[in-house]
């Protein structure tokens, strides 16, 4: 029963994180599109965004769950797995609908920049915790 409660708590956290990230990226994207004169966004694009954010949430969980002594591998492994998933998703989607010529470049850069920011924040938090531990 305890394991079930832990799993349900993780699922709840994931759903909340997914909802926050999806809402933030959709509002940001919508504002940018309106600013540039694009008045509509397709349902397909919204669903693709949801799929990529789902992969991002899984990646964030991997960052926390993968415990390798080598700090580079601790962050590189989840990033590599998720990058493979997001590029695979892009390729799969491209089998059904034409992709923008820069689709792979765009998804790679967008995902990498966000991953780098998350990794940097996690490293900073880890260093601050370590420093506090040393001072106590």
Cβ-based neighbour number of residue 122 at 10 Å? 15
Comparison of pLDDT for 1 and 67, the residue scoring more? 67
CA neighbor of 86 nearest in space, from 68, 72, 105 = 105
Q: What is the pLDDT of residues 109-119, one digit of tens each?
A: 988 998 898 88
| CA 79 – CA 66 distance, rounded (Å) | 11
Alpha-carbon gap, residue 53 to 33, rounded angstroms: 19
d(CA 109, CA 82): 13
User: pLDDT digits over 72-112, tens only?
Assistant: 888 888 889 889 999 999 999 999 988 889 999 999 998 89
Its pTM surpasses 0.85: no
């Amino acid at each position: 029963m305890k394991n079930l409660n832990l799993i349900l708590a993780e699922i709840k956290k994931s759903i909340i994180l997914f909802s926050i990230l999806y809402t933030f990226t959709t509002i940001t994207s919508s504002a940018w599109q309106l600013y540039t004169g694009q008045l509509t966004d397709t349902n397909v694009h919204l669903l693709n965004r949801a799929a990529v954010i789902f992969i991002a949430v899984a990646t964030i969980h991997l960052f926390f769950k993968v415990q390798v002594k080598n700090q580079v591998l601790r962050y590189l492994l989840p990033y590599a797995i998720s990058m493979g998933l997001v590029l695979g998703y892009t390729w799969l989607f491209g089998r059904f609908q034409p992709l923008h010529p820069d689709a792979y470049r765009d998804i790679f850069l967008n995902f990498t920049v966000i991953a780098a920011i998350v990794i940097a924040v996690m490293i900073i938090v880890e260093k601050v915790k370590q420093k506090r531990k040393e001072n106590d």
